Amino acid sequence: AQKVTQAQTEISVVEKEDVTLDCVYETRDTTYYLFWYKQPPSGELVFLIRRNSFDEQNEISGRYSWNFQKSTSSFNFTITASQVVDSAVYFCALSGIFWDNQGGKLIFGQGTELSVKP
């Protein structure tokens, strides 16, 4: 069975602090995708990153960075110098491969609500 666990339900930080959101996943698949989505108060899920299981290189995009460690089944997300606009619920998700008829659906974690205070 596939499962995604985000143990941190809520995190509160002060602007300009760095914050790391944890994500641990379970899957029997040897190839899979991992994702992070942001859900602001407006409700729409916004895609942040997709990482495939072949590639364990860390990725940085502006103030965002992701640390994928296959050995510990973790895909953590760090926001550097947080801003008030980063306040949202963040979801980690897992998917099978897309190129067959069974892949593509996302298994989401329960989300971490991040509150960045000025």
Partner 1 sequence: DTGVSQDPRHKITKRGQNVTFRCDPISEHNRLYWYRQTLGQGPEFLTYFQNEAQLEKSRLLSDRFSAERPKGSFSTLEIQRTEQGDSAMYLCASSLGGGRGEAFFGQGTRLTVV
12 binds partner 1 (CB under 8 A): no
Among 44, 57, 62, 72, binds partner 1 (CB under 8 A): 44
Give CA–CA dist 110/93, Å, rounded. Answer: 9
Contact string 19-38 vs partner 1 (x = CB under 8 A): ----------------x-x-
What is the residue-wise DSSP string for 54-117?
T----EEETTEEEEEEGGGTEEEEEESS--GGG-EEEEEEEE--SSSTT---EEE---EEEEEE
Give CA–CA dist 117/86, Å, rounded. Answer: 10
Nearer to partner 1, 81 or 98 (CB): 98
114 binds partner 1 (CB under 8 A): no
Size of the site for partner 1 (CB under 8 A): 26
Judged by CB under 8 A, the chain residues 76 through 105 that form the site for partner 1 are 91, 93, 97-99, 101-105
Answer for the pair 30, 73: CB distance below 8 angstroms, yes or no. no
3 binds partner 1 (CB under 8 A): no
Which residue ranges make up the site for partner 1 (CB under 8 A)? 4, 35, 37, 42-47, 50, 91, 93, 97-99, 101-111
